[in-house]
Structure 1
Amino acid sequence: MIFGEKNVDTPICWGMVGGGRGSQIGYIHRSAALRDFNFELVAGAFDIVPERGIEFGENCHVAADRCYSDYQTMFEAEAERPDGIQAVSIATPNFTHYEIAKAALEAGLHVYCEKPLCFTSEQAEELETLVKKSGKIMFVSYGYAGHQMIEQARKMVENGDLGKIRIINMQFAHGGNNVAVEKKAASQAWRVDPKKAGPAFSMGDVGTHMLYLTEAICPQLHINRLMCTKQSFVEGRMLEDNAMTIMEYDNGAIGYIWSSGVNAGEQFGFRIRIIGEKASVAWDAEKPNYLSYEVQGESPRMLSRGNSYLYPEALADDRIGGGHPEGLFEAWSNLYTKFAIAIDRCEKGKAVDFWYPDIHAGVLGVKWVEKCVESADKDSAWITF
């Protein structure tokens, strides 16, 4: 169980690129990183408009001389300081991730980057090479993986509670883009612009979250091939707002991912069900404290976060004990705690012996989107992965 005691000797000097006023995810990054005293926010290039970013940074108690106009200036100036940043989080639009992450790694920083890492597999593999060369830690922001019941599902699969995995059924299908919201909201406009969002909208924005949960819960499965169909239902939208992907895995299992922003009436719609030869588990992100466990021939049961019958690895992520609800902020905090511990071990030359959404997860997400688009553009042909 997490009690908020220190995981590192001294807080890690940490900076942000993006995540300023109006950012959808800036606040949760800061809240998660600062919650357990593992990080200290000391610098930032928070906004594309320098004056606005400096004002915002000062309102977050960052010294004025460490609120920078751009990330290049921040990396250069912080490298000259004896108390300069050791790690950076990148919370900017998709089209900037590659160049910022590359610059951060070349500057000798540990990196926590929003997904997708970049637009092409070549760029992703270049970042992976840089991570290996630099020896630094790189996290990809798959925040839902930090929920305690995801760890429980992972251990249940690992220990054979479900038997051989046969089917994985996933959806992240909400209705938030059921109309052209991008025409009224600048924060949405870049998400449907292929120059700024990359080759996909729904698949990159929400589908890759499901892809990573599959990797987190069932790391033994690997995709052999996939097929995809995609649509753009909102008139004038250049990228898909709905897609269905079917994947065949190397053990004979099959997976389905429905990625959508036009599921009218559904506010969130994030669910995963893993079906084995003996039993199934199911998790709903809107009810994250519970994991449905159904054994063939027995009454269904509901596993609840924070209880002693869970695997120790799941209980290790607990923050407040059973019965009290935890949510997304706690999940992100768990991942940032892992980020801090991984950095600390890396700096001390120790092995990082736990799983987390690493550079490989980022590369996999970019490749998956590419292959889905390729399949859809070839009239939903099967594509070797």
Structure 2
Amino acid sequence: MINGEKKIARPLRWAMVGGGRHGQVGYKHRIGALRDNTAFELVAGAFDIDPARGKDFGVNLGVSEDRCYPDYKTMFVEEAKREDGIEVISIATPNGTHYEICKAALEADLHVICEKPLFFTSEEVLEVKELAEEKGKIVGVTYGFSGNQLLLQMRAMIENGDIGEIRVVDLEYTHGFSATDSADKFSEAQKWRVDPKIAGPSFVLGDLSTHTYYMSQLIMPNMKIKKLLCDRQSFISSRAPLEDNANVLMHYENGAVGRLWTSSINAGCMDGHRIRIVGSKASLEWWDSKPNELRYEVQGEPIQTLIRAMPYLDDSCNADERLGALHQEGLSESWANIYLKFAIAIDAKNRGDEETLSNLVYPDINAGLDGVRWIENCVRSADNGAVWVGYNEVEDKTLSPVQN
């Protein structure tokens, strides 16, 4: 269990790029990083594109006024002059800025924690991965739901053979908050998400389904996609070419099949985030709306509901529990769990502890690369008429669809 005791020698000196007053995502980063007050210390930031507003916000967070910077470039230069300068940054800015900021941070010898999707193209990720390896730095990706403990229980049960051979993977991440175009007009956070110059080649595929896709790979690390087919729509026509609804069919290398539905126009839906894994003997199902429960359905037996933090769960699952089974945990604890693992990874990297790194399960740059490839393949399939495409094919301009 996690009880707040330090996992590393001292808190890492941490800064944020973005995550200012008017965006919800910045607060999620801060509650994750500062949950235990032993892994990170927020000492600097370039919180806003408006320098005065960013400084005012940073001071209200408790950051010294002279360490609230007008932009990230100035912050990297000035912090490098200090003996107590920053060691790691979090990037909580629109998608189109991630690559530039991440690369600049690594060149400034900083570790990086970045929002998803990591970049626009897998080529960009491969370039940054090489730079991170050269600099000896960690790049983590904030798949914020992936710290829910029962996902590790699913992973352990699958590895143990409790559900048999995986046959069907059923994934969903939907909501109804973009069922009209009102947010596109009035919400600054929504405006850039439907602008391909800033958001990249997708809307809900990148903004929503990369979470669920990564979680499925966390649960089933040995399940690799052989080919997929994506059909996407822009039901609010002004969002085209970016989609607000998509269905993805997947064929896995072991013969299993999968389906993912992602949508922001599922009118009336508050939380349609669900993962169901169907095996030859049993099925597992987890819902974000009930993150402390895991349904275990064995063919021919009564349905079981496994509860977070109970002693019958796998040690890997209970290692991350914080409050005991009597009390509910949720998204804030999930973010805290992945941020703690980021801190452990950074500390291990600094010490050259490759054994710890090799055994640590967290969303690293390889997870970010797979997420970008996921989007690329979905877009490639959809834009060529919803055709089957080989998952690991290198895209060229003369696509050869895979026959179903």
Paired residue total: 385
The CA distance in 2 between the partners of 1:158 and 1:134, in whole Å, is 34
The match for 2:370 among 351, 364, 367 is: 364
C-alpha deviation, 1:378, in angstroms: 1.2
C-alpha deviation, 1:3, in angstroms: 0.6
Amino acid at match of 2:140: F
Report the counterpart of residue 399 of structure 2 in structure 1.
none
Deviation track 1:292-318 (CA, whole Å, cap 9, x = no partner) reads: 000111110000001010001101111
The CA distance in 2 between the partners of 1:382 and 1:235, in whole Å, is 25
* 2:294 is aligned with 1:294: no
Report the counterpart of residue 96 of structure 1 in structure 2.
97
Structure 1 gap segments, 5+ residues each:
none
Report the counterpart of residue 7 of structure 2 in structure 1.
7
* 2:121 is aligned with 1:120: yes
Amino acid at match of 1:75: F
Deviation track 1:1-49 (CA, whole Å, cap 9, x = no partner) reads: 0010011111110000000101121111111101112110000000000
The CA distance in 2 between the partners of 1:137 and 1:308, in whole Å, is 33
Report the counterpart of residue 58 of structure 1 in structure 2.
59
C-alpha deviation, 1:237, in angstroms: 1.6
Amino acid at match of 2:194: V
- Counterpart secondary structure, 1:226: strand
- Counterpart secondary structure, 1:171: strand
Identity of aligned residues (%): 54
* 2:154 is aligned with 1:153: yes
Deviation track 1:269-303 (CA, whole Å, cap 9, x = no partner) reads: 10010011111100000100000000111110000
Matches within 5 A, 1:270-309: 270-309=273-312
The CA distance in 2 between the partners of 1:285 and 1:251, in whole Å, is 27
The CA distance in 2 between the partners of 1:346 and 1:187, in whole Å, is 34
The match for 1:218 among 217, 220, 224 is: 220
The CA distance in 2 between the partners of 1:72 and 1:162, in whole Å, is 51
Amino acid at match of 2:325: G
C-alpha deviation, 1:215, in angstroms: 0.9
Q: Which runs of 4+ in 1 moved over 2 A?
A: none
Report the counterpart of residue 132 of structure 1 in structure 2.
133
The CA distance in 2 between the partners of 1:35 and 1:373, in whole Å, is 37
Report the counterpart of residue 397 of structure 2 in structure 1.
none
The match for 1:375 among 356, 377, 381 is: 381
- Counterpart secondary structure, 2:155: helix
- Counterpart secondary structure, 2:123: helix
Amino acid at match of 1:190: W
* 2:324 is aligned with 1:321: yes
Q: CA RMSD in A?
A: 0.8
The CA distance in 2 between the partners of 1:165 and 1:110, in whole Å, is 37
The match for 2:200 among 198, 201, 216 is: 198
* 8 Å CA contact 1:305, 1:323 repeated in 2: no
Report the counterpart of residue 341 of structure 1 in structure 2.
344
- Counterpart secondary structure, 2:239: coil
C-alpha deviation, 1:319, in angstroms: 0.3
- Counterpart secondary structure, 2:306: strand
C-alpha deviation, 1:235, in angstroms: 2.8
Report the counterpart of residue 178 of structure 1 in structure 2.
179
Amino acid at match of 2:97: T
The CA distance in 1 between the partners of 2:238 and 2:340, in whole Å, is 42
The CA distance in 1 between the partners of 2:94 and 2:135, in whole Å, is 25
* 8 Å CA contact 1:175, 1:267 repeated in 2: yes
The CA distance in 2 between the partners of 1:258 and 1:348, in whole Å, is 42
Q: TM-score, normalised by structure 2?
A: 0.94
C-alpha deviation, 1:63, in angstroms: 0.6
The CA distance in 2 between the partners of 1:166 and 1:296, in whole Å, is 14
The CA distance in 2 between the partners of 1:75 and 1:248, in whole Å, is 45
- Counterpart secondary structure, 1:270: strand
The CA distance in 2 between the partners of 1:81 and 1:164, in whole Å, is 55
* 2:215 is aligned with 1:209: no
Report the counterpart of residue 394 of structure 2 in structure 1.
none
C-alpha deviation, 1:66, in angstroms: 0.6
The CA distance in 2 between the partners of 1:62 and 1:365, in whole Å, is 33
- Counterpart secondary structure, 2:14: strand
Amino acid at match of 1:118: F
Matches within 5 A, 1:249-264: 249-264=252-267
The CA distance in 2 between the partners of 1:186 and 1:23, in whole Å, is 9
Structure 2 gap segments, 5+ residues each:
392-404
Q: TM-score, normalised by structure 1?
A: 0.99
Report the counterpart of residue 248 of structure 2 in structure 1.
245
The CA distance in 2 between the partners of 1:331 and 1:308, in whole Å, is 20
C-alpha deviation, 1:115, in angstroms: 0.4
- Counterpart secondary structure, 2:158: helix
